[in-house]
Structure 1
Amino acid sequence: MSALPAADVACVIVSFNGAPWMADCLRALRDSTVPLRVIVVDNASSDETRAIVGGFPEVTLLPQAENLGFGRANNIGIARALADGARQVFILNQDTVLAPDAIAQLLRQAEADPSLGILCPLQLDGDGAAMDPTFLRYYVAPHATAYLTDAVMGHPIAGHYRAHALPAAAWLLTREFLEQVGGFDPLFFLYCEDDDLCARARHHGFGIALVPAATFRHLRGFHTPASSIPAGQLLRKRRSRLRSIVVNEIKKPEGRFGRNVWYALASQAVQSAQQLFVYFNWVEALAGWGAVLRVIPEVPRIRRHRDACLTRGPHWLPSVPPTRPSQDREQ
């Protein structure tokens, strides 16, 4: 393999009331062995997040007047990075601490296999002592079994492992991928936007890969135990998640659109009935039925978005002019 070339990499962080983690996140990026341009897109935080970012003069802050959600806010940062000439864009959650050599490891694998569009580092728990359990259960175990087998059996670890899908807490995205597949679909406010983008990557022939030598710690700041959430708030949260799951099933590139619609809606309705009559979980049942009712009037819009994403292009990435030197830091 040739020596790692100099790379223009921009790191995009979407923040929302991220004061407990933001300073540690940004300090870790300062230690990166690959120089980074860091862009923070703040979703109208009500805490000290913006003031903390202000203590890092090298960081570009893009404040938003409202909470745009994870995907739309990332698209704003990605579009700014591309307009300013970035060749790769690294998106990162605010409640993370990146290893110093993680970007270098990701770039080596991107150079080794140009067909990769999404490269994901290994997600560790908050202490960095073990793999993050959610990452292991929902992504590595079902989608990156070759890596898990090598790790458990003590076999040599490869540079990267192809995967069906990986979570967007930390992703390196190539410019070619973003220009041909696009950004996150605004149909999704918070949940399943990464699953949708992974499906679109596969549809357009771009690979998704886990890079074990690149690591980061995920502190999981937003994960509140369900038992401590009021029933009404829990109902709304679950309805939002289930609505995104149903939309993702309908929008997936595989299969006929009509079949996807009926299968996704009927499946969720049946599962909700099961939650009520078998498990007596009325919150989950109402959340599921509420999700179905929310999705039904959205079906025409979902179809338009699906048709757009079946074609190549920088979908959902806003057009922005390059930053002038005097505009390098936006407040």
Structure 2
Amino acid sequence: MVKKRRMQGHKKNKPAASALPRTPKTKTRLKESAIPRVKKRKELVPEAISLPSMSLPTDTPRLESVHFDTNNRAMDLPHHEKAGKYPLDVFRFPIIDWHYRFQRPQQFCLKFANDGYRVFYFHVDTKAIDDTYATFEDICRNIEVIPVQERIWTVRLCSYNPLNAYRSTIQHELDIHYLLMSLEAIKQRFAITNLLSIVDLPFWSTLVFRLANNTIIYDCMDEHHGFNNVSADNLALEEPLLKQADLVIASSEQLLSKASEMTSNVLLLRNAADFEHFNKPPELLAPQLRENQKPVIGYHGAIAQWFDSELISFLASRHPDWEFVLIGHNYSLDQRQYDDHVHFVGELPYSELPSYLHGFDVCVIPFLLNPLTLATNPVKVYEYLAAGKPVIATRLPELEAMDGLVVIADTYLQFEEAIQMALEDQSNEKHALLRSQYASKHTWLSRYQQLMKHLTTAYFPKVSIVIAAYNNFIFTERCVESIFAHNRNPNLEVIIVDNGSSDETRNWGGSHSQLKLVRLSHNLGYAAANNLGCRLSVGDYILLLNNDTIVSEGWMEGLIEPLRNNLELGMVGPVSNSVGNDQMLEFAVSNDVHGAEPAFLNKFKQLYKGRRRMTDNLGFFCVAMKREVYEAVGGLDENFGIGMFEDDDYCLRVRNSGYQLAIIEDVFVHHSGSATLRQLPNTQYQSLFDQNKRLFESKWNMRWKPHPRPISALAEWDSFQEVSATLGKHRV
């Protein structure tokens, strides 16, 4: 359970949004109509604004703020600020500040950072900008960004009113606007395109659902209704957050049950311990424990509304021969009421906790039973056990499962008796070893690995893209750059098989950690090159992609999702501007340099959203298949040599193996069209076509028929302007 600090929010007397002055000033802000409202899941933020970026000089001390300046652009990031090995950055919208008490939010952030992700951890309160016409540059100057360790930054966002994540709500349109500009500033400065947002408090949901290219996790670690410092307005936001988050992780069975009533996308992920930190005995105990001769009954954590102060008073009054050491912020007890052998140490740095914990003889969890504690999975129990200490606790459901390791007491007398028995047993090294062994299996690293395994399975499947390239380096470079520009899957690999190129392709090294290059001494042909790439791949899904394609946002997810959700589907392909079958659109706005025009793509996706069409053939300019299909059917037939008809052949083989093929009509991939084969003279091209056609017909003892032509919902219009004007009236 994470204790939230009591923060008294203060409000300046500011006008309501509708009362904002309309007269222009020397500074201008975006019109109120440009401020996005919360309507649907994952609504886009306003278009990016040019950013005076932040720079962190190489000689800057570790904890010095990162500042904005106008000379340093995102593409010139210092090495220590550059993106990690994955195309995804983590935004943590927390329940506690980074330096408050080191618990679940910070522990997971550390694991993400150690695994190569960049992590941006926000403050629970904002910096108010007392200006109704603040510009983007004003926001940039006021954001506080501080590196706390490699690949982790704390960030204080800007708002119009001073906001606190417990007591405030994000309602004022200028608050929303300034917060979004703050996030856009961070995204631009650090060249962030794809996000994994972890939300700890419902307060943040008003903001987080507006971010584009964003996978949202709600870390449900507490029963927020049990706290006395969370506003009713924020509590009301939890239900939609539970329903709309991509994934809910619950820290206890009770929270899991609650979340499961709202969503099926839920994972039980209990708390844990930094085992090495708490298991290793310190060189020296804390000074006040070194000379102590009495048994020490210890506790660390917040002393707040859930802490049973009367239980401690009862025990202390009956046992002046025991020392009670209570570590943590004291929110609820009057220390003056306790005798000298009850010590309130206050909050301690995380690094000092082992020096106290290893001086405790018995550790206690003296919690009252209420909705808050009944739903909690105490972090401290794993830390106590890591040190091998006996633990006595009140009857919390999450601790009952630890029978034999944690002693449960239902009455004050039982609690007292359990402590006495633990003191008598404290020299039992076998019991201490059993406790620490249990804790060693419940570490933050193991929890992180459990989370990442689930994310990999549910959201980031292993995908291998295989590209056979022969010369045409400019096409290959554009294709690869488009893939990584639109990739947020940390489990993607791109394998380029250089088919004996003689141009720059041969010397190209690439700049992406997820890119693998395989160089061949001579051209083995399209089928052989792709087969080699497939054999080297590790993905659960394989995409064969021509090097003369340019992909667009969401293309890979759009192709993989139908394969994951339909057991009968074996292979799928997108629509395109250039392909020799009914995958081709009769109207498309795209080019060989930039691919699809954004406005066209947006309208296209609206028109074709969710449409699928079964087919007998797919063009292999871009095709996705399950690995099980590749393993069942085998590789492409290399008898077709340089190329042509191997795709028709493979489609037949897939269908004969019992799988279906489908065209995913809301995924568009730009295709230049046979860029490699166009290098051949016309006579050689025609000869190759005729030769492979005869091979196909002979192999299958059938006459090859030309593929059907396009059936396009856009065919009735003659121009993009006409398409744009009409699409608003059509829904499919």
Structure 1: runs of 5+ lacking an equivalent: 124-131, 142-150, 268-331
Instruction: Describe how 1:64-79 pairs up with structure 2 within 5 A.
Output: 64-79=520-535
2:495–2:515 CA contact under 8 A, matched in 1: yes
Give the 3 Å change call, closer, same or farther, for CA 69–224 of structure 1 in structure 2: closer
Q: Distance in 2 between matches of 1:155 and 1:99?
A: 16
Q: Distance in 1 between matches of 2:582 and 2:631?
A: 26
Residues 1:95 and 2:545 are matched in the alignment? no
1:250 offset after TM fit, Å? Answer: 1.6
1:55 offset after TM fit, Å? Answer: 4.0
Structure with greater proportional helix content: 1
1:96–1:218 CA contact under 8 A, matched in 2: yes
Which residue is 2:685 aligned to? 237
1:177 offset after TM fit, Å? Answer: 0.3
1:249 offset after TM fit, Å? Answer: 1.2
Residues 1:107 and 2:555 are matched in the alignment? no
Residues 1:37 and 2:480 are matched in the alignment? no
1:117–1:177 CA contact under 8 A, matched in 2: yes
Q: Distance in 2 between matches of 1:186 and 1:107?
A: 26
What is the TM-score when the length of structure 2 is the normalising length? 0.29
**AA partner of residue 166 (structure 1):** L
1:9–1:37 CA contact under 8 A, matched in 2: yes
1:5 offset after TM fit, Å? Answer: 3.6
Output one character per residue of 1:78-104: Cα deviation in whole Å (capped at 9) or x when no partner. Answer: 0100xxx31011111101111131111
Instruction: Describe how 1:120-269 pairs up with structure 2 within 5 A.
Output: 120-123=573-576, 132=577, 134-135=578-579, 138-140=581-583, 158-189=610-641, 190-220=643-673, 221-222=675-676, 224=678, 233-252=681-700, 257=701, 260=702
Q: Could you tell me which of 41, 49, 58 is aligned with 2:514?
A: 58
Give the 3 Å change call, closer, same or farther, for CA 6–155 of structure 1 in structure 2: closer
Give the 3 Å change call, closer, same or farther, for CA 166–2 of structure 1 in structure 2: farther
Backbone CA RMSD of aligned residues = 2.9
Q: Distance in 2 between matches of 1:34 and 1:212?
A: 22
1:23–1:52 CA contact under 8 A, matched in 2: no
* Secondary structure in 1 matching 2:475: helix
Give the 3 Å change call, closer, same or farther, for CA 155–26 of structure 1 in structure 2: closer
Structure 2: runs of 5+ lacking an equivalent: 1-262, 266-457, 585-602, 706-732
Give the 3 Å change call, closer, same or farther, for CA 93–86 of structure 1 in structure 2: same
Give the 3 Å change call, closer, same or farther, for CA 160–34 of structure 1 in structure 2: farther
Which residue is 2:464 aligned to? 10
Output one character per residue of 1:240-287: Cα deviation in whole Å (capped at 9) or x when no partner. Answer: 1111011111212xxxx5xx5xx78xx9xxxxxxxxxxxxxxxxxxxx
Give the 3 Å change call, closer, same or farther, for CA 57–47 of structure 1 in structure 2: farther
1:50 offset after TM fit, Å? Answer: 3.0
1:52 offset after TM fit, Å? Answer: 3.2
Give the 3 Å change call, closer, same or farther, for CA 104–21 of structure 1 in structure 2: same
What is the TM-score when the length of structure 1 is the normalising length? 0.63
2:608–2:666 CA contact under 8 A, matched in 1: no
Aligned length: 229
1:139–1:167 CA contact under 8 A, matched in 2: no
* Secondary structure in 2 matching 1:236: helix
1:237 offset after TM fit, Å? Answer: 2.1
Q: Distance in 2 between matches of 1:105 and 1:34?
A: 13
1:34–1:104 CA contact under 8 A, matched in 2: no
Q: Distance in 2 between matches of 1:112 and 1:195?
A: 25
Q: Distance in 2 between matches of 1:122 and 1:160?
A: 11
User: Max radius of gyration: which structure?
Assistant: 2
Give the 3 Å change call, closer, same or farther, for CA 187–157 of structure 1 in structure 2: same
Which residue is 1:147 aligned to? none
1:159 offset after TM fit, Å? Answer: 3.9
1:64 offset after TM fit, Å? Answer: 0.6
Q: Distance in 2 between matches of 1:198 and 1:26?
A: 26
2:640–2:646 CA contact under 8 A, matched in 1: yes
Give the 3 Å change call, closer, same or farther, for CA 156–235 of structure 1 in structure 2: closer
Q: Distance in 1 between matches of 2:478 and 2:516?
A: 17
1:34 offset after TM fit, Å? Answer: 2.8
Q: Distance in 2 between matches of 1:91 and 1:243?
A: 24
1:33–1:104 CA contact under 8 A, matched in 2: no
1:26 offset after TM fit, Å? Answer: 1.0
Higher relative contact order structure (alpha carbons within 8 Å, sequence separation ≥ 6): 1
Residues 1:48 and 2:504 are matched in the alignment? yes
Output one character per residue of 1:190-236: Cα deviation in whole Å (capped at 9) or x when no partner. Answer: 010000000111111111111122221112334759xxx8xxx4322
Output one character per residue of 1:130-167: Cα deviation in whole Å (capped at 9) or x when no partner. Answer: xx2x43x63348xxxxxxxxx99x98754421111010
* Secondary structure in 1 matching 2:686: helix
1:28 offset after TM fit, Å? Answer: 1.2
Output one character per residue of 1:3-60: Cα deviation in whole Å (capped at 9) or x when no partner. Answer: 6443000111000002121221111111223342010000000000133343445311
Give the 3 Å change call, closer, same or farther, for CA 245–27 of structure 1 in structure 2: same
1:2 offset after TM fit, Å? Answer: 7.5
* Secondary structure in 1 matching 2:567: coil
